[in-house]
Amino acid sequence: MSIRLKASRLLVVVALASGTTLAFTVAPRTTVQAAPAPATSKYVPINPIRVMDTRIGQGGSRLAAGGATNLTVVTAAVAAAAGVGAAAVTAVVLNVTSVDAAGAGFIAVWPAGQPQPATSALNSTHVGHTLANLVTTPVGPDGAVQIFTQPGGDMVVDVQGVYTPSTSSVAGRFQALSSSVRLFDSRGDLGRPLRAGERQDIPGNSLAAALVLNVTTTATTGAGFFTVWPSGKAMPTASNLNVERPGQTIANQVIAAEGAKNSVSIYSSGGGHLIVDLIGFISNGNGTGEPTAGLFVPLTPARLIDTRTNNGARPGLNGSVPLEPAGMGGLPGDTAVGALALNVTLTDAAAPGFVTVYPSHTEQPTVSSLNADSIGQTASNHVITPVSNAGFTMFTSAGAHLIADVTGYWTGQPTRETVLPAYTPTPGGVVAQPSTAPSTGSHALIATISKAPGYARWNPCQPIRYLVNDARATPAQRQVLDDVVSAVRNATGLDLQFVGKTPYGLDTSVPPNAVYANAVWAFSDKNASPSYINDGGSVGYGGPSWSGDTIVEGGAIFDASITDLKLLREVILHELGHAMGLGHVNDTTQVMNPSVTGNTFLTNYSNGDREGLWLLGAAQGCTKDG
């Protein structure tokens, strides 16, 4: 049996160089009461309609710095295109473009008649900046929204579609894909960028009224814009993506109504490579599925997380920020959420790179959600992401502060967390141990309990499935880990089974689905794991958690900045010793001594270490609670 650590259990973690053992209880997770049944809506896509362009005086004039305006977005033309009464619209999907910004700052959009929320819809970074972002927002009285611009500038707003009340519908429901699908990539499909003025048709599917796409351009050939619309219809006076300069990389999410032959058309005014990823689609009623799932519940925009203020440390190279948002920002506390509408912002980018948002504890997709192409950049993108019971995760390839604001959610069941196939023992995976300890020496055991034999240990009758986060490791460093795993296997007789790579483990946490893994071992650094690796001498962290007489999880972190492979080997030996259940000893001849001094490093377990690992190992037989 393998279970998650409960709040009443004791989790022990030990720092390599601190010389102290830290013991603390895990705080119980707050229970949020389920809210009443929400007011749900279905989506009606339209051919984009422009409702504001202050450059020509449509919908108002250029906004001054700190200026706000009330804009009716559910116009008679919008309502007619959607085939609904204007009063029936609960929320809208807009493409909002800030043109020729007067400086750096943010733009916010929210329902008219409500206080301005502490959120942003898009971010300007310099004088003259022109940029666009998709915005999902409820509407206020008379189908109006409020628009605020901190820097000042012209504003352009195109309506992409509307939400109308529905408690059950076969059409207008969001259906996420199990994994994103790349529909088009001009780098391979054409072997060249789109030319200025060129149009590309993108096929959809027969079940979709609209496609939920992430549209990215890179290696742009000049300033201009991209427009997405239903194939077979006249190209609208609208844009979805704006480019300022050659060589730019930028993305925007698009919910595009399908047209002729179930396809959408994309026009490039300035030219550049085009990448189109399908996230999901809005149903047209031809498919199957639960008619009460995939309906939208609009929320007043609310901030879920901002790493600048949540913990202060900027997520580093290949860093991940997981969040369980249940009960936050108007979201229900139960499991009735299938997907979220977010505005995700990266800021203070460490280098050019990308951010990917996906359901926590599932396989990380290979597509990006937003992109940075320069150091220090700030960029935003609308993101529709399914969630698991553990929420969602934001991954940053190069490092950046990350911000997520929620604007609504879709009803449905959370994405199932990844479950591995049934375990099949690997030949030679279990090492026979002698009936008596092979050596005698100083050792200590972490998981002390009251009943015999006085300590908890891993159950040798079940495999230890471990994940590795080696995104920061060199091949040589990863080889050191593999070598140490063999040493642990030989010393314990436990069946350690590598079951895959993961972006998790930077806080020693193990994905909560116990079938998925028992342990996570990660190479990290002081930026990604400041609580565990620091300039004060802590170069690793490790420890087990247990239930009754059985250790059920083991986490370990190693400092990837260590270039001396002999030192790294001792660090990994030490931290995996903790993960197996060994504690510190005041004996410099043992790996489990809490400090390393000088330039001579222990490269294998010593006599006391081996005796402790033998006590924790297979020779003791199956555990009772495991």
pLDDT tens-digit profile of 142-198?
999 999 999 999 999 999 999 999 999 999 999 988 778 899 999 999 999 999 999
Sequence-ordered list of residues with C-beta below 8 angstroms from that of 432, at least 6 positions apart, any chain: 493, 618
pTM for this entry: 0.65
Give CA–CA dist 93/54, Å, rounded.
Answer: 19
Structure confidence by residue, pLDDT tens digits, 506-559: 876 665 443 457 899 999 988 888 888 887 678 899 999 888 888 988 999 999
Contact between 592 and 598 (Cβ < 8 Å): no
Q: What is the mean predicted confidence (pLDDT) over 320-347?
A: 89
CATH 3.40.390.10 describes domain 10-25+421-620: yes
What pLDDT was estimated at residue 126? 92
**Token pair listed for 384:** 């529709």
What letter does residue 455 receive in the DSSP assignment? B
Of the listed ranges 249-263, 401-415, 421-435, the least confidently predicted one is 421-435
Topology match between the domains 10-25+421-620 and 170-288: no
CATH class belonging to 290-416: mainly beta
What are the structural domain ranges in the chain?
Answer: 10-25+421-620, 54-163, 170-288, 290-416
Residue 424 clears pLDDT 50, i.e. is over it: no
Say whether 246 sits in a helix, a strand or coil.
coil
How does residue 388 score in pLDDT terms, banded at 50, 70 and 90? confident
Distance separating alpha carbons of residues 430 and 397, to the nearest angstrom? 37
Band of pLDDT at residue 9, cut at 50, 70 and 90: very low
What lies within 8 Å, CB to CB, of 591 at 6+ separation is 570, 573, 574, 577, 602, 604, 605, 606, 609
Residue with more model confidence, 509 or 227: 227
Fold of 170-288: Jelly Rolls (2.60.120)
